[in-house]
A = this chain, B = another copy of it.
Amino acid sequence: MAALFPINRSLTGPGVVETLERISAVVPLQVTEVPSGTELLDWTVPDEWSLQGAHIADADGNHLIDVADHTLHVVSYSEPVAATLTRAELEVHLHSLPDRPDLIPYRTSYYSRTWGFCLTQHQREALGDGPFDVLIDSTLAPGTFRYGEAVIPGTDTEDPTEVIVSTHTCHPSMANDNCTGLVAVMAIGGHLLRHPPRRTHRLLFLPGTLGAIAWLAQNPDARERVHAGLVIGGLGDTDPLTFKASRRGDTVVDRVAHAVLPRRDASFRPLSFSPYGYDERQFCSPGFDLAVGRLSRGQHGEYPEYHTSGDDLAFVDADRVAEGISAALEILRGIDDNETLDNLSPYGEPQLGRRGLYSSTGGAIDSRSVEMAYLWVLSGSDGETDLVTIAERADLPIDAVVEAARRLSDAGLTAPRARGGH
C-alpha cells in the first residue's frame, strides 16, 4: 500500500499505467486498451490526461501551492493553464473545505473542460491578494484508456460461469479509498492462485464508472456469464464491515454475505441496494442486474476524511484490511461451494448410524455438532433449497454445512441438483 499510495492516478494517464504494472507483478494482468473517442454503451472515452507539474506562485515566484507537495492539489483532468490572475479571477478555480480547514479535498472534472486547485481552507486564507502566477502543465490529448483483469481458471472446466471481484483504480493518493481495495483484490488473487476455486474467478481493476462501463460494453454476455460478484473498496477505516446488497437483494452473493458476516461480527448490519456508490452501480444497472454486492466499511461521505488528504496511510489499519480480505474470501468460498441437493433417501430420516455418520449411543446429543449439520442438510435437500439457505436456517457456518453435504454425498444420501442458485 505504501508503494501504491503516492502514485497520481486518474481516469487515464501514466498513474494508471504504473499502478497496473505494480499489481501485475503480484497478480498477472491482461490490460485492455481503448482509444479516446471510442463509444462504450452511453459513454465516450475522453482524451488521455497527464500532468507534468502545477503550482500557484506569488509575484515573487514563491510556490504557494504545488502539486509536487500533494497529488490532490490539482483538480484531476485540469486543462493546461499559464496565466497571471487576480485573487478574484483565481477564486472561482479554488476548492477547499471550510468545515475541515486542514484537509485538501479531492475533485475531478473528467467530462467537462475546466481547471482548478484544491487546497486547505487555511492555505486558501493565507494566499494573499495576488496577483498570482498560475501554471498547470498538463496534456489532454487523444490517447488510451486502460483497465486490467486477471483470470483465475476454475477447476470445473465445464462450468462456463464466472465470479467477478472488482475494485477501482482511479483515485490518487488516498489510502482507504482506494488503496485498500487494490491491496485487497491483489491479496484475494494471490490466495485464489494458491487455492484454485471451482468456478473461474475474474479480478477487475477498473477506473471508476468508465472502467465498469467499458468492461460491460466489451462483455455483453455478462448477464449470463457472471454467476455472482463482489465490489471491494474502503476496507481500512474504523467502521465495521458493511455489505451492500445487489439490486435484486436476494441473490446468492447477498445470501452468502448475510450468512457469513453476522458470524464474524455481531454488530454487522446489512445495507440494501442504492444506486449511488462504487461500480456496483454499473453491474447492477437494470439492463445487467448482476448478482454483485459490495464489501466495504464506512459509507461515502459519512467519515470526515472521505475524499480528502485526511485519507492517508495513517488513517487505515492493516488488521482491518486483513479482516476485510478474510471476510471476502469466506464469501467467495461460500458462493463457490453452494449447491442445491436432492435427498436420495427423503422418506423418513436415513439411518446415519450404520453409515458411521452418527454416534451410536443415543440419549445425549450436542445440538451444535456435526450431526445437526447432517440433519439440516437432509431436511433441506429438497431440490430447491441451497446450502447457504440451509446454513442460515440452521444458524451454522456455511463451511460446516458444506462439509456435512460432502460426507452425505460420499455416503450416497444426496446428489447435486444444481450449482449455486442465482
Q: How far is the CA of A240 from the CA of B30 in the complex (A)?
A: 62
Cβ B347 vs Cβ A288 within 8 A = yes
Kindly supply a per-residue 1/0 record for chain A positions 383-399, scoring 1 wherever the CB is within 8 Å of any chain B CB and 0 otherwise.
00000000001100000
Q: How far is the CA of A88 from the CA of B108 in the complex (A)?
A: 80
A338-386 contacts to B (CB < 8 Å)? 343, 345-351, 353-354, 360-365, 367, 372, 375-376, 378-382
Cβ A362 vs Cβ B275 within 8 A = no
A255 contacts which chain B residues (CB < 8 A)?
A: none
Q: How far is the CA of A282 from the CA of B350 in the complex (A)?
A: 10
Kindly supply a per-residue 1/0 record for chain A positions 271-305, scoring 1 wherever the CB is within 8 Å of any chain B CB and 0 otherwise.
01111100001101111110000000000110000
Cβ A285 vs Cβ B379 within 8 A = yes
Cβ A367 vs Cβ B281 within 8 A = no
Which of A126-134, A179-187, A208-216 faces chain B?
A208-216
Cβ B360 vs Cβ A111 within 8 A = yes
Cβ B307 vs Cβ A364 within 8 A = yes
A213-258 contacts to B (CB < 8 Å)? 213, 216-217, 247
Q: How far is the CA of A360 from the CA of B107 in the complex (A)?
A: 10
A83 to chain B, nearest CB (A): 20
A182 to chain B, nearest CB (A): 19
Most chain B beta-carbon contacts within 10 A, residue among A111, A209, A213, A349 = A349
Looking across the interface, which residue of chain B has its beta carbon closest to that of A384?
B286
A393-416 contacts to B (CB < 8 Å)? 393-394
Cβ A307 vs Cβ B363 within 8 A = yes
A378 contacts which chain B residues (CB < 8 A)?
A: 275, 285-286
Q: Return the contact of A286 from the options B108, B209, B212, B381 (Cβ within 8 A).
A: B381
Cβ A376 vs Cβ B275 within 8 A = yes
Q: How far is the CA of A114 from the CA of B361 in the complex (A)?
A: 9
Q: How far is the CA of A275 from the CA of B346 in the complex (A)?
A: 13
Cβ B364 vs Cβ A42 within 8 A = no
A20 touches B (CB below 8 Å): no
A284 to chain B, nearest CB (A): 7
A112 touches B (CB below 8 Å): yes
A110 contacts which chain B residues (CB < 8 A)?
A: 362
A43 touches B (CB below 8 Å): yes
Q: Return the contact of A345 from the options B42, B272, B282, B394 (Cβ within 8 A).
A: B42
Q: How far is the CA of A287 from the CA of B75 in the complex (A)?
A: 65
A207 touches B (CB below 8 Å): no
Q: Return the contact of A364 from the options B107, B116, B379 (Cβ within 8 A).
A: B107
Cβ A111 vs Cβ B288 within 8 A = no
The size bracket of the interface on A is 35 or more
Looking across the interface, which residue of chain B has its beta carbon closest to that of A355?
B42
Cβ A287 vs Cβ B42 within 8 A = no
Known: A41-B348, A42-B350. A109 touches B379 (CB 8 A): no
Q: How far is the CA of A9 from the CA of B360 in the complex (A)?
A: 19
A278 to chain B, nearest CB (A): 12
Looking across the interface, which residue of chain B has its beta carbon closest to that of A247?
B379
Cβ A286 vs Cβ B343 within 8 A = yes
A286 contacts which chain B residues (CB < 8 A)?
A: 343, 346, 378-382
Known: A107-B362, A282-B349, A365-B301. A276 touches B216 (CB 8 A): no
Kindly supply a per-residue 1/0 record for chain A positions 171-205, scoring 1 wherever the CB is within 8 Å of any chain B CB and 0 otherwise.
00000000000000000000000000000000000
Q: How far is the CA of A307 from the CA of B106 in the complex (A)?
A: 65
A148 contacts which chain B residues (CB < 8 A)?
A: none
Cβ B365 vs Cβ A276 within 8 A = yes
A75 contacts which chain B residues (CB < 8 A)?
A: 361
Besides A109-B361, A287-B347, A307-B364, 10 other A-B contacts (C-beta < 8 A): A41-B348, A42-B347, A107-B363, A212-B348, A275-B376, A276-B372, A282-B348, A285-B349, A286-B346, A301-B365
- 17 of the cross-chain contacts (CB-CB < 8 Å) are A42-B348, A42-B349, A75-B361, A105-B364, A109-B361, A112-B361, A116-B361, A209-B349, A213-B348, A213-B349, A272-B393, A275-B375, A275-B378, A275-B379, A285-B378, A287-B347, A288-B348
